[in-house]
Structure formats: C-alpha cells, structure tokens
Amino acid sequence: MKSMSATMLLAALVMGCSATMESMAISCLSDEECDEGEVCFPEGCGDPGQNIVVEVIPNPMAGLHAQDFRVDQLRSQQNIELFDPSLLRGLVRREEVSTSSPINYSAPVTVRVTGESLLIPGVMRRHETTLIPTSEGYSLSVGSGRYDVTLLPEDSELPPLTDAREVEPGQEVTLDFLLPAASELTRLTGKVVRQGELLVDTELEVQALDANLRPLSQREPVTSGSGDFALSLPPSAALLPSVLIRVTPTSVEAAVPIKVFTVNPRLGIQEPLELGDYGEPVTVEGRLLEPDGQPLEAATVYVRGKVGGGGQYHSDKVLTDEQGHFELRTLPGAPDGSSLNLYVIPPPGTNAGITVQAITIPRTGAQLPDVTCAARLKVRGTLLLPSSSEPAAGVKVMALPIAETPGWPRSSASVEAPRLTDAEGRFELALDPGQYRLDFIPSQNLPRVSRIVTVRPGENTSTEGVLSLQPFALSKGRQINGLVRFSGERLVQSSVPYASVRFFRVVNVEGHPSALLLAQTLTSQDGTYSATLPTR
Amino acid sequence: MKSAFLRLASDLLSIPSIKWLGIGATLWASGGCLIPQEENYLSELPQPRNRPPRIVESQVQPSERIIRSYGADLCSLEFSVIVEDPDIGDLISAHWYVDYDPTHSKGADLEYSLTPSSKPLREDRAYFREDFGALGSKLSTPGDHLVEVIISDSRLVGREPQPRIITLPDGTDFADPGYTATYAWFVKTVPGGDCQ
C-alpha cells in the first residue's frame, strides 16, 4: 500500500510542473432546475425543510457540551429544548491477587473521549480530563456522540484501557474500568541498538501496538546508556499471535528513523531491536522557484522516506529564504539507492502549488538542482442572485479540501478567495489538485450555499490552467427564529445565552452519510436566535 | 393734547446729545434681535471612535487550552473562534499562526475574513483546520506547538493593528486606533503517531 502511495506521489511529481486540471461535480446549477419546493444542494435537488439536524453547544467552558437533534419539519419558529448535560461516569478499580474482589483505584488517571456526533457525520468531538478517581469513580460531562473512551493511568506500568460508548443528549452513561493486577500483566523487556553493540545516542520511546495499531502499552522511554526498556501489556495481549513494537525518537531534531518490529508476546523479545545502518545526518541544499521562475520565499520544505536499516524517516521542517534557498539536515537515503521524497508546501497566496519530488541523498549530502514548483490551478466562476440572472456581488468564497484526487497528495489547508465576488459576480481561487467543497457566504440575508468541485489534472482546462465553472445561483433565504432553553431537572439555569446553534443537512451521498452546514449563529443574551436557511 | 410724558420726550429730543443717544440705544436694541450673537456654528456630530472586537471565549473550539497526544488517537483538529464587535460595519479578519517566530516572521499561516452581519455577534466563524496526514499539516511535527489566532478590526502590519486615519471637518487628521484580540492553544504532537 505504501509503495502504491509512493508511486502515486511520483506520478504527481512527473506531472507536477505541466499539470492542468478540471472537473466539477454539480448535478444542478440553480433552484430553478429543481421541482417546486426543492432547492439545489451539492448532492442534487432536495426539500430544504427535511433531513435537518441542529447542533447546540451551550457553553463548553462550563461543561455544557453539544446536543444534537433531528428536526423532522423545519418551522419558522423553531424552539429548542435542551436536556441536562450528558455524563460519562463509572468506577475505576484494580484487580488484586491478594483479595477476591477488585479494589478502588485512587491514583491519577487521564480519561480521553474521542469520537463523532451521533447524527452529524464528520463532526468530531473530543473531551479529556485528568483526575484522581474517588470511591464513586469518575464523572465527565461530554457532548452527545459515539466515542472511544481511553483510561490512561499516570503510572506507566499500567496499560491503557479503551472501550466504546454512545451518548445521547441528557443521558448518563456508565463505563467502569478494571485495571489488571500487577502479577497478571504481560511484560515485555528488550533492548534497542543501532547495530550490533552500538547504542543509539538519542532519546527514544517504545510502545506496543496490536495489528490495528491500537496501543497495548503506554509509551516507555528507552534507558540511555543501556538501550533497555520494559513494557506492560494487558493479560489478553499474551493471547495474540504477535504484537508490534514501535521505536521512535522523542525529538524530530534527532536524526533517527522510526522502526516497527513484530514480536511474539509469549516468547518475549529475544534479540535486541536493531534500527540498522541509517547513516549519519547530512546537509541537503537547494533552491525553490515559482512557476514563473521567481524564487519562492517562505515555503516549508522537508524530507520523508525509507532510510538504511528499513526505518521511516521524517526530517525537521525548514523555510526557504528570500532567494528561495533552503538548507536541510537529513538522513541519507538507503544504500540500495531508493529515493527519499522532498516535500514543498508553498505559503498561502502564491501561485506555486504543493510539490513532491523524489530525490537521491548520498551519504556525503547533496546540492539539489533548482526545483520549480507546480502551478496552483485557477478555478473561476460566476455567482448569481437567487432566481435571477443578476450577479451576486460581495460574496465570500471558501474552498475546503474534503478528499484527495487519486495520484495527488492530500492538502489540508482551506483557501479563501483573495477577493469577494466582484460587481459581475465573478470569483477566482488558486487550488492544488483535490476535491473541495466551495462555500459561498453572502453578507446579505441570504443563506450560505455550497458546491463540490474536483480539481484534477487533465481535461476541460484551458491552456493557461484555468477551470471555468458554469454560473450558478444562490438560494433564497428563510429566517428561522427560536428560543433555546434547558428543560432538564439538574440545571438551575434555563436560558442559554451565547450558545452556538448550527443547522446541518444530513443525507446519503453515494451511499455514505454526509453533512452539509446550512447555517450557524449564536443565541443572544436572552437565549433567542435567528438563522437564515435556504428555501424556494 | 399732549400728555406730560410726550412733552418731556419732545423736550429731551430737542437736545442734540440726547437725540444721538436715543438713536444709538434703538440700534443696539434692534441689533440684539437681528444680528447673531454667536458666530461659531454647531459642528457635525462627532465621529464615533472605533470600539474593540472580542472573542466569545465560552465558544472557543477546542475548549481545552492544551491538546495532548495529537497524532495518536486524534488525527484532525478544527480550531474556531466566534467574534463580537459592536461596530457591525467593521471588517474583521482572523490571522492564524502556528509556532510564530518573531525573528523569522513568515506572515500568518492562514488569513480568514469574517463576513459582516447585521448584528454585533458575527455569524461567520474563523476556522483553522488541521489534518495530520495531509500535506501542509502544520502540527504533524512531533513536539510542542503553539496555535494562535489574532482577530483584528483593522489592517495588521506584522501583528500590530494599524490606526485608521480620519480627516476631521477642520481638516486635521485623527488616528482612530485599531484593535486585536488573541487566543492560543498548546498542541503536543506525539512522535510516531498512528495518523497517516
């Protein structure tokens, strides 16, 4: 799989400098193309009053987290009654061999809750607290969601415990943790060396993982001067056919690769874990140019790839200077001649695009030839007012990457068009290849509108590398007003000032549930809100 | 038949100095009605001074200031702030910085302008999204990171808000100060994380 990714990246490199792009996935261009009462959404025409989910976040700082509700039929006056805060609670106990029943555990632990909204796909939620469990255990206020809950004892001799729970609004969910007795733990001890008897002269950590890369142990330091380490795994780990031991440097400045070893937990670690001959750090110099040949300043540059000994190396990141010059300290490539990849991330606002280039770094270092970056591709379009051929001026346009285009690296940065739509409703964005959600955010009382655009090298692009989208129209707006209040029994307060209220449309797109943000607002001091949603 | 009062007035006016005194008094009295007493006109209404925006701290996301183990069980992050500005016409921009180094300033990592709205609480939010496995990830390097957002109601030079120069009716210039508000998170990225 990794070699396939590397091949794709190389393909990207080869195409990089001459790439053109295209493609837009729009099933409708305006509400006029839809049936009566329907609105043109990114996935096609649909009823704007259906498939609505509203998320309310009253006050996270005060432990009042997100609650999500389905809205069967959206009304103009849409009051929202919140439940009491959802709670995750339970006991933390530890097995003791000397006693027949577990005893309460009362040392510091971290409870980490990571997951996603139950109703709004893609809306991630996370909560974390460090506490000392009492005889009544622990209690943590959380948002509604589907979570992995991990208990991480501060005592690193105890392995992390993870379980899954779903939490509905207002619900109190119980999750008890039972830590294993010290005598029942699966223990793995070993030694990390560079080669033979030669130790690694930098700080390292080791961690045991299962086949799905889920942690079986905590991260443990490797003793400097001896290379020794000891890991504690849950008793169940002894039943696994194999576990993975990952060795990582603690600092990116350490010129040491990451390497993963497979061991049999019943047999233990019988040989030292050898990182291999990965060489000594060398200097790589080079110069980056924009597509027009001008030096590219303030670009982020780094190197990744396989090095001698079979480990994976990630260099530190550096910035290019005013002349586009960079100097990077990195490990050399593997002796078999396989190449590393040079990654270039240009700063926002330039025409240069993300560039990946395979480079060979010998053990003497390298002075690279100039690297000319691929051009970001221009996406142009025209926006119209609802039910009109009049241009929509003064609209903000954002592009949010949602998926990568096959053969191209994934970009993480959202891009804002440098200007609002002009008097003719025109906009322009410079984008790297990928799939984007374009959000159009009007400043008048009109709802935000989104479209999905795929930018990829190839057809339907002008010779200047411009993708021209067909004109499409904003939707009419409908004002929704309401009051948000608590209706539970535990909270004294009923009004909910400064609460975040977001409306999503949740539908299946190509068989996968997908959420589209329709409107977002905040309640006022008295708990009332108003939002503008699309309508016909 | 003349009254005694009129006879007395007639006698007095026959004296030249009294006549001129009477004419002067008449002019003085009538001038009080016809000639403006105050020559300074009311100026235009004073220009309202710029007021600072604020970040609605109760709604900052993530709500935790310190985010641990990024790259292990947490593979993406979405930072966002909501802004309130009593000056509803102000253009508010958010400047996001990751590991800002004043000695090697490279500008903001992301600039985001908030769409104006008709009320002080802006409906649009300033977002900064981070995906560990994506190219351009600013937080994938193991170690400690500082994520900052500066919101400003005026142009920034470096990270300093610039005043707006307003020409007053008398022709003089007035520097109306710009304001910023900031928020920061600490992110600890673990080495060798599972997010790719």
| Interface predicted TM-score (ipTM) | 0.85
Does the beta-carbon distance from A414 to B110 stay under 8 Å? yes
A248 and A319 together in one domain: no
Q: What tokens does A105 get? A: 């555990």
B192 reaches A (C-beta below 8 A): yes
Residue of B nearest to A149 (CA): B73
A257 and A306 together in one domain: no
pLDDT in tens, A80-119: 999 999 999 999 999 987 777 899 999 999 999 999 999 9
Question: Between residues A532 and B116, which one has the greater pLDDT?
Answer: A532
Domain of A147, CATH number, reads 2.60.40.1120
Domain of A326, CATH number, reads 2.60.40.10
Does the beta-carbon distance from B124 to A441 stay under 8 Å? yes
Query: What is the least distance, in Å, from the CA of B99 to any CA of chain A?
Result: 12
- pLDDT-based confidence at A439, cuts 50/70/90? very high
Least confident of A220-224, B18-22, B128-132: B18-22
- Give the one of B61, B106, B190 whose C-beta lies nearest to A298's C-beta: B106
How does strand B156-157 pair with strand B110-114?
unpaired
Residue A58 lies in a domain: no
pLDDT in tens, A471-526: 989 999 999 999 999 987 777 678 899 999 999 999 987 778 889 999 999 999 99
Find out whether A250 and A204 touch, Cβ atoms under 8 Å: yes
A319 and A238 together in one domain: no
What pLDDT is attached to residue A24?
A: 47
What pLDDT is attached to residue A20?
A: 34
pLDDT in tens, A225-250: 999 999 999 999 999 999 999 999 98
Does the beta-carbon distance from A60 to B58 stay under 8 Å? yes
- Give the one of B118, B124, B135 whose C-beta lies nearest to A410's C-beta: B135
> For residue A354, what are the domain limits?
282-362
Name which of A458, A464, A460 is nearest A15 in CA terms.
A458
B134 reaches A (C-beta below 8 A): yes
Share of chain B above pLDDT 70, in %: 76
Residue A427 lies in a domain: no
Examine residue B62 and say whether the peptide bond preceding it is cis (omega within 30 degrees of 0): yes
Residue of B nearest to A248 (CA): B192
A123 and A201 together in one domain: no
Rounded CA separation A47/B163 (Å): 48
Q: Is the pLDDT of residue A198 over 80?
A: yes
Rounded CA separation B150/B183 (Å): 7
3-state secondary structure of A183: helix
Half-sphere exposure of residue A277: CA atoms within 13 angstroms, side-chain side: 5
Which secondary structure element, helix H or strand E, spans residue B182, and what is its range?
strand B180-189
- Give the one of B64, B110, B192 whose C-beta lies nearest to A248's C-beta: B192
3-state secondary structure of A140: strand
A300 and A229 together in one domain: no
pLDDT in tens, A177-193: 999 999 999 999 999 99
User: In which order are the strands placed within the sheet that holds A103-104?
Assistant: A103-104, A92-94, A177-179
Residue of B nearest to A517 (CA): B124
Name which of A199, A228, A230, A231 is nearest A217 in CA terms.
A231
Q: Where are the domains of chain B?
A: 4-34, 54-189
A102 and A176 together in one domain: yes
How does strand B126-131 pair with strand B143-152?
unpaired
What pLDDT is attached to residue A461?
A: 59
The domain boundary residue, chosen from A322, A341, A362? A362
Does the beta-carbon distance from A128 to B59 stay under 8 Å? no
Residue B193's Cα: distance from chain center in Å? 44
The domain boundary residue, chosen from A314, A331, A362? A362
What pLDDT is attached to residue A22?
A: 38
Find out whether B53 and B153 touch, Cβ atoms under 8 Å: yes
A174 and A206 together in one domain: no
- Give the one of B117, B129, B191 whose C-beta lies nearest to A249's C-beta: B191
What pLDDT is attached to residue B27?
A: 62
What pLDDT is attached to residue A337?
A: 76
Say which DSSP state A224 is in. T
Does the beta-carbon distance from B131 to A319 stay under 8 Å? no
Beta-bridge mates of residue B126:
B81
Share of chain A above pLDDT 70, in %: 93
Which secondary structure element, helix H or strand E, spans residue A14, and what is its range?
helix A2-16
A221 and A287 together in one domain: no
Share of chain A above pLDDT 90, in %: 71
pLDDT in tens, A270-304: 999 999 999 999 999 999 999 999 999 989 999 99
Q: Cα–Cα distances in Å, from A409 out to A8, A9, A79, A306, A414?
A: 8, 7, 44, 18, 15
Does the beta-carbon distance from B143 to A252 stay under 8 Å? yes
> Which residues contact residue B155 at a Cβ distance below 8 angstroms, ignoring those fewer than 6 apart?
B161, B162, B178
- Taking residue B173's Cβ as centre, other Cβ atoms within 10 Å add up to 9
What pLDDT is attached to residue A350?
A: 85
Rounded CA separation A172/A142 (Å): 10
B76 reaches A (C-beta below 8 A): yes
Name which of A190, A325, A200, A320 is nearest A255 in CA terms.
A200
A166 and A127 together in one domain: yes
Residue of A nearest to B61 (CA): A60
- Taking residue B177's Cβ as centre, other Cβ atoms within 10 Å add up to 13
What pLDDT is attached to residue B34?
A: 57
A287 and A352 together in one domain: yes
Q: Residue range B12-32: average pLDDT? A: 65
Rounded CA separation A101/A106 (Å): 16
Mutation for A interface: B54, B55, B58, B84, most A CBs within 10 A: B58
Longest dimension (CA), chain B: 125
Q: Is the pLDDT of residue B147 over 90?
A: yes
- pLDDT-based confidence at A55, cuts 50/70/90? very high
Residue A161 lies in a domain: yes
Q: What tokens does A531 get? A: 């939002």
A206 and A268 together in one domain: yes
Which secondary structure element, helix H or strand E, spans residue A379, and what is its range?
strand A377-384
Find out whether A33 and A521 touch, Cβ atoms under 8 Å: no
B103 reaches A (C-beta below 8 A): no
Does the beta-carbon distance from A60 to B68 stay under 8 Å? no
Residue A190 lies in a domain: no
B112 reaches A (C-beta below 8 A): yes
- pLDDT-based confidence at A10, cuts 50/70/90? very low
Q: Residue range B27-36: average pLDDT? A: 58
The verdict on domain B54-189 having CATH code 3.90.1570 is no
- pLDDT-based confidence at B31, cuts 50/70/90? low
- pLDDT-based confidence at A325, cuts 50/70/90? very high
Q: Cα–Cα distances in Å, from B155 out to A302, A396, B114, B159?
A: 32, 18, 14, 9
Query: What is the least distance, in Å, from the CA of B100 to any CA of chain A?
Result: 13
Residue A346 lies in a domain: yes
Find out whether A228 and A187 touch, Cβ atoms under 8 Å: no
Q: Residue range A335-364: average pLDDT? A: 88
Least confident of A10-14, A166-170, A432-436, B170-174: A10-14
pLDDT in tens, B38-50: 566 655 666 678 9
Q: Work out how many domains chain A is built from and give that number.
A: 3
- Give the one of B69, B73, B141 whose C-beta lies nearest to A317's C-beta: B141
Q: What tokens does A167 get? A: 């939490």
Residue A36 lies in a domain: no
What pLDDT is attached to residue A13?
A: 38
B74 interaction partners in chain A (CB closer than 8 Å): 114, 126
Least confident of A191-195, A447-451, B73-77: B73-77
Interface of B with A in 7-36 (CB under 8 A): none
Average pLDDT, chain A: 89
